[in-house]
Amino acid sequence: MAKAAVVRKGKTPQKAKAVSGKASAGKKAKGPKYVYFFGMGKADGTGQMKDLLGGKGAGLAEMSRLGMPVPAGFTITTEACNAFFKSGKKYPAGMWDQALENLAKVEKAMGMKFGNPSNPLLVSVRSGAKFSMPGMMDTVLNLGLNNETLAGIIKKTGNERFAYDAYRRFITMFGNIVMDVNRRKFDDALEAVKKEKDYKEDTELTVDDLKGLVEEFKRIYRAETSSDFPQEPLKQLQMAINAVFGSWFGDRAVKYRKLNDIPDNLGTACNVQTMVFGNMGDSSGTGVGFTRNTSTGDRKLFAECLINAQGEDVVAGIRTPLHIDELKRRLPKAYKELDSIYKKLEKHYRDMLDIEFTVQEGKLYMLQSRIGKRTAKAALKIAIDLVKEKQIDRNTALLRIDPAQLDQLLHPMVDPKAQVKVLAKGLPASPGAAVGKVVFTAEDAENWAAKGEKVILVRPETSPEDIGGMHAAQGILTARGGMTSHAAVVARGMGKCCVAGAGSLNIDEHAKEFSVNSTVIREGDHITINGTNGQVIIGEAPLIQPELTKEFGVIMKWADEVRKIGVRANADTPKDASVAMGFGTQGIGLCRTEHMFFETDRIKAVREMILADDTEGRGKALAKLLPMQKEDFIGIFREMKGLPVTIRLLDPPLHEFLPHTDEELQELSLEMGVPVDKLKARNKMLHEFNPMLGHRGCRLGITYPEIYEMQVRAIMEAACELKKQKVKVTPEIMIPLVAHVRELKTLREMTVRVAGEVQKECKVKVDYTVGTMIEVARAAITADEIATQADFFSFGTNDLTQTTFGLSRDDAGRFLPTYVEKGILDDDPFVTIDQGGVGQLMQIAVEKGRKTKKGLKMGICGEHGGEPKTVEFCHRIGLNYVSCSPYRIPLAKLAAAQAAAKEKTKGKDLSKSTV
């Protein structure tokens, strides 16, 4: 465990100005306010000051202001923490003096003195960031104990056992947290005594046992740190504060922030609070809990307790906790007060809370209140129930739910309580989780699945030929590719879990194994992939199965009533369209016609077209494809029941439809009766150094107009046939990769001509529109010109990001994580829109396009369309809709509703609901 500010061998990084054991200070400390007092009905801070005081400090301040029994203490701010690191782990000027000044206030409030042998004050030193990071940072309890104050505690309480128990706990925590001594050494010594005496519980330890353990713990401390256990209380305090600040950059905290998208620059506050003791006998106890059930959302106290124990015993699992009803049975007066307080707190905050309490000799003390973490299922129920209880309105309810949490309801998820071994990390290409045996070919995936095996298909990257194996597998893992790679796009359409671009995987397809550093995973070994965060996990992780509740339907209904921006689906097949309709899509924002070409029954015709030597040959092959494409469009139009369907004409370069290895070319040669040399020659002719910037999109349509003519004819024939059957259709024909208005003008004229011919032949009129994708910088900058030829714009943000940054989206996964880790980029721009660059181009296009054509319809169809921050940005710049994969529609709807709700609640006091 990394300790960024650990004090080694008893040395402090900075001398305290007062180390005499007296906390009183003559003059008031000057300069910025770094320390805030709380407790006993008073507080310098408020519950709204989470940025400065952290969640824990703000909660303690607010409870104090509410007159609740909070032991006195003070909070050192997050600003002090950040200044500590900026100045090379030195306290900012005035901070220590303010700490001493507030320590004197605590002494006065509690009637005890820090370091005083006859009436000692003991304190806890605890971290507390703005956002809850449970268990990720450090805590030291019982600070202030030494050989002299120990005697004072014994005399004051008349409880020698309690005093020695507190001392051995303090040495353990201080040694582990502050000096980085392996906690196992202390625990082993404790267990050795219990084993020798045949004790089952810590509570069976006698006074003599504990005295011996204190001496043994001091010996361990000395051996591990080369220094005696510090006896000066102020030195202990300073070292503990340093350790709490340092824990902000500990390994656990850094990883947690990365997983939960919490910035590193927030810092942690440090809370120094009077100790109260739950381990003073059977009239004492401690507990933690939630004001509602964290799994179901039920309105009932969900808590656990221990009698004659300290809080760490519950949190750390040192002892098996008891149901809260035991507190009611054994300490009814304290329970009755707790029942009253938690209800008062929940009413005040208008949310489910995480609380912590201690009962010392029958008296209840509150040690924490903060917004409690909850499952997606519970989040929906709690939000709806609070509206029913008239505590919050619908807008606030919608804002309470994390859109990403909805994945828990739509896909299997790795159990968050499970201990897992993460082997590698890639891009979270398609959400959910999957467990299975590793296979390395699509053929094996199909064969193993046919025998009832659950498999994970592992490939360097997937190709159209892998579609059968992808369908058969539980999930897909690739070493290369990005968020818009073949594997990612197809997996999302299928609703399959996918991790793409896991660059640390070294795949040996012939040996049927892959390795990450020294770890080797072979065919048949179990792995788990987490498509929600990109983790590759060794073995079979426990999964939680999705569950759509009635509350999900209610929240979606509220979201639909509030949001202003439309939500469409990216769907390429009738099945995709059907799934999208089930989630309440308002149309299809992107139908990729090339995915229809990849189907096994038509890839041969596509290849015939590519291999043809002239227009006539291409025409013959395209004639075979026409009825297939037409049937696809009929199926999609039927499913969409008159909603708009935006169909993108062929976009990828032609080389993607041909195999490249000698083995695959040999197979294709036999299948098609075409010499291998001709296939190789055509591959060579189609080869491009950078195909993403090459002969693709509208450039194909201009050089091979017969391809686009066939597609437009297929669309319009399908539309006309259904119109005759009185089925409403709304086709939107989209030209990809336009950079110059003349490209669009040429292809629009072709589209209008072919559409007119079909309508004339079918003797029916169908309303349709012709638009373009804005996916290169020139198109955005000249949007005013392009708008003269477009009925709508759709931002292809995958390509727009690629061309704006000059990145290859399929290769950037190798280094973009490093850019994010080093803070060069806040986020992967292929995951969430780069608002400062790509977003600026989008705004230019919106303004210029609508200046030419007022009310021009605009949407976004890259996979960004389902990412919450991007959805909010699209709402802000005035797009008409976002489009995303079918399974992300609920997330996009909620994010869109939240964007609208934020506008409505702007300027309103929501402090109580967001503390």
pLDDT in tens, 697-730: 999 999 999 999 999 999 999 999 999 999 999 9
Question: Per-residue pLDDT averaged across 141-146, rounded?
Answer: 95
- State pTM to two decimals: 0.78
Catalytic residue among 81, 270, 348, 486: 486
Residue 26 has pLDDT above 70, yes or no: no
d(Cα 774, Cα 87) in Å, to the nearest integer?
47
Q: How many residues does the chain have?
A: 915
- pLDDT bin (cut points 50, 70, 90) of residue 391 is very high
- pLDDT bin (cut points 50, 70, 90) of residue 733 is very high
What pLDDT, on the 0 to 100 scale, is given for residue 464? 64
Mean pLDDT of the chain: 89
Q: Tell me if residue 305 is catalytic.
A: no
Neighbours of 677 (CB within 10 A): 10
Question: Per-residue pLDDT averaged across 230-257, rounded?
Answer: 91
Question: Per-residue pLDDT averaged across 101-112, rounded?
Answer: 96
- Could you give the C-alpha distances from 175 to 73, 122, 147, 170, 651, in angstroms and in order? 23, 17, 16, 8, 62
Which two structure tokens, joined as six digits, stand for 776?
A: 């290169």
Residue 616 has pLDDT above 70, yes or no: yes
Query: Using an 8 Å Cβ cutoff, are 200 and 193 in contact?
Result: no
Strand pairing report for 413-414 and 543-544: antiparallel
Q: Tell me if residue 497 is catalytic.
A: no
What pLDDT, on the 0 to 100 scale, is given for residue 319? 65
At 640, which amino acid appears? Answer: M
What pLDDT, on the 0 to 100 scale, is given for residue 167? 96
- With vertex at residue 635, the alpha carbon angle to CA 629 and CA 641, rounded to the nearest 5 degrees, is 135
Q: Edge-to-edge strand order for the sheet containing 302-307?
A: 322-323, 302-307, 285-290, 353-360, 363-371
β-strand partners of 607 = none
d(Cα 346, Cα 325) in Å, to the nearest integer?
20
Catalytic residue among 305, 720, 861, 874: 861
Which two structure tokens, joined as six digits, stand for 613?
A: 């030597």
